[in-house]
Amino acid sequence: MFINAIDVTNKIAISLPPLGLGYLAGSLRKEFGPDMIKFKIVDRAIEQEIKEFDPDIIGISSVSQNYNRAIEYARIAKKYNLPVIVGGVHISALPSTLTIDMDVGVIGEGEETIIRLFNLFTERKHFDEKSLAEIKGIVFRRGGKIVVTEKRLPIEPLDTLPMPARDLFEIQDSTYLFTSRGCPFKCAFCASCRFWGKIRFFSPEYVVNEIRFLVQTYKVKHISFLDDLFIANKARIKKILELLKKENLIGKVNFACNARSNVVTNELVLLLKEMSITAIGMGFESGSPKTLKYLKGDNICVKDHITALTTLRKHEIEPHVSFIIGSPQESKEDVLETLAFIKKNRLFSFDLYVLTPFPGTPVWDYAKARNLINEDMDWDILNVNFKANYDKAVILSEKLTRMEIYKLFALFIKLKRKMKKRLKVRKILKNLGVFLQNDENFMKKKRAAM
């Protein structure tokens, strides 16, 4: 039984099939055959599911803000004397947080490691310390002490991985996939790029094969590429487009992807447009040059944001962007500069977050140096929903109080509601314009025929 440790009240979290667990199941099927292992993936009612499914082994996947849940689920599993493997970005960044109810933690990519662990388990029906010490990329306890084994190298080429076992999920007509792992950039707040390591790509052939599979098997109409940076390799995008045309998939499905403003060019957007990409997400993070430099480094500037917006809008793509406030040296004026940027550039669709220190990032190291966090804390405080979590959230700012950040946050939320209303009106007017144009063209044709 695989347990996806998520907040089941979060609509976005429950709407996304946990493909990470799907890759693990797919890899185990490839190694042991399709019928040797029976899988079930759950995210709630864990004790009841254990009683009904009666598993031999439990695997739990968790990010840091949900790690309290992982701890509780491991505790439940141990009530039934079940071996527990935990994986995901949290245990990879903080192997020292392995609890006494967890037998093994998988550090980094899990596909090759879990095969080794299952081979060991099928042989002995338990995990012995001597054998575990020989497996790369794990953490376990020996004599009460934490042991971290030799690091496992990243999987290359990625095409050796089977597609995730989507038959274990309910796939809707709008879904997602990954075409790469990693990111060439290292934003100060990002745990994902550090989890994956250097950027690696699935081949264009692999990607298009997976797209075709989703369209043919599940009648998917919309696919989001949830890579950290889908547009990192322009030549690969050209090849993907070429293969989509060859497979006659253009027009049968549309796409969304993530971009970065300093990588967006007119040539690239033309490719994305031709590929039927209709939505693009970008982390602008800030409209303040000082704050932007802290969050994303020296290789990007506010001017890049404006250029990217202009380029995308020229091709009738309205991006969805996100911002972060609450950096250590960010002043009220800096925050208001971001607010002014949103207004000036008429950003109809945006999200706002307060800077959160995720394990494995420079921001985490900064927060730890200030004794704002530790490895034995309540992991719920890393919940990125600041509106629901503002009284517990870690405040990293040295310039603003919790309440000052909350009031500034409220200004953005107010503006977001206002911009959403404007966007609705804009769409209505656009649709009306199309209707009137079509009606006029119809009347012209009718008069010409008389």
Which one, of 326, 291, 334, lies nearest residue 402 by Cα? 326
CATH number at residue 214: 3.20.20.70
Q: With cut-offs at 50, 70 and 90, classify the pLDDT of residue 438.
A: low
Is residue 56 a part of any domain in this protein? yes
Q: Is 293 exposed, middle or buried (0-12, 13-18, 19+ CB in 10 A)?
A: middle
Indicate whether 177 and 64 sit together in one domain: no
Is residue 443 a part of any domain in this protein? no
Residue 245: count other Cβ atoms within 10 Å of its Cβ.
13
Cα torsion angle, 208, 210, 214, 216, sign: positive
Boundary-marking domain end, from 148, 173, 205: 148
H or E stretch covering 353: strand 350-354
Indicate whether 407 and 284 sit together in one domain: yes
Is residue 326 a part of any domain in this protein? yes
Q: With cut-offs at 50, 70 and 90, classify the pLDDT of residue 252.
A: very high
Indicate whether 285 and 331 sit together in one domain: yes
Residue 112: count other Cβ atoms within 10 Å of its Cβ.
20
Between the alpha carbon of residue 359 and those of residues 74, 99, 110, 370, the distances in Å are: 21, 17, 18, 14
Q: Determine phi and psi for 89, rounding to 5 degrees.
A: -65, -30
Per DSSP bridges, beta strands 200-201 and 254-259 are unpaired
Q: With cut-offs at 50, 70 and 90, classify the pLDDT of residue 440.
A: low
DSSP state string for 257-276: EEE-GGG--HHHHHHHHHTT
Report the mean per-residue pLDDT for the chain. 94
Indicate whether 291 and 338 sit together in one domain: yes
Tokens in use for 412? Answer: 């953005």
Tokens in use for 103? Answer: 């037998």
End-to-end CA distance of the chain: 71
Local structure of 267: helix, strand or coil: helix
What is the pLDDT averaged over residues 355-364? 97
Between the alpha carbon of residue 8 and those of residues 5, 14, 18, 106, the distances in Å are: 9, 6, 13, 24
Q: What is the pLDDT of residue 124?
A: 84
Is residue 19 a contact partner of residue 178, using CB atoms and an 8 Å limit?
yes
Q: Name the DSSP class of 164.
A: P
Q: What is the pLDDT of residue 424?
A: 75
- pLDDT above 80: residue 430: no
Local structure of 120: helix, strand or coil: helix
Is residue 183 a part of any domain in this protein? yes
Tokens in use for 43? Answer: 């995210």
Indicate whether 140 and 205 sit together in one domain: no
Amino acid letter for position 178 = F
What is the pLDDT averaged over residues 275-284? 96
What is the pLDDT averaged over residues 137-153? 96
Indicate whether 404 and 336 sit together in one domain: yes
How far apart (Å, rounded) are the C-alpha atoms in residues 295 and 301? 11
Which one, of 94, 213, 172, 422, lies nearest residue 102 by Cα? 94
Is residue 77 a part of any domain in this protein? yes
Q: What is the pLDDT of residue 275?
A: 96
Indicate whether 29 and 134 sit together in one domain: yes
Indicate whether 73 and 193 sit together in one domain: no
Give the residue numbers spanning the domain of 6.
2-148
- pLDDT above 60: residue 436: no
Boundary-marking domain end, from 123, 148, 173: 148
Is residue 335 a part of any domain in this protein? yes
Boundary-marking domain end, from 148, 172, 195: 148
Is residue 375 a part of any domain in this protein? no
Number of domains in the chain: 2
Indicate whether 226 and 294 sit together in one domain: yes
Q: What is the pLDDT of residue 441?
A: 62
Q: What is the pLDDT of residue 392?
A: 95
Digit-coded pLDDT (tens) for 299-342: 999 999 999 999 999 999 989 999 999 999 999 999 999 999 99
Q: What is the pLDDT of residue 439?
A: 57
Residue 179: count other Cβ atoms within 10 Å of its Cβ.
24
Share of the chain above pLDDT 70, in %: 94
Which one, of 98, 191, 101, 187, lies nearest residue 147 by Cα? 98
Of 110-119, 235-244, 319-328, 438-447, which range is least confident?
438-447
- pLDDT above 90: residue 63: yes
Digit-coded pLDDT (tens) for 11-32: 888 999 999 999 999 999 999 9
Residues 6+ apart with CB under 8 A from 395: 326, 354, 372, 401, 402, 405
CATH number at residue 28: 3.40.50.280
For tokens 């493997």, name the residue.
85
- pLDDT above 60: residue 199: yes
Digit-coded pLDDT (tens) for 366-393: 999 999 999 999 999 999 999 999 999 9
Indicate whether 118 and 70 sit together in one domain: yes
Local structure of 450: helix, strand or coil: coil
Indicate whether 336 and 414 sit together in one domain: yes
Is residue 112 a part of any domain in this protein? yes
Indicate whether 141 and 171 sit together in one domain: no
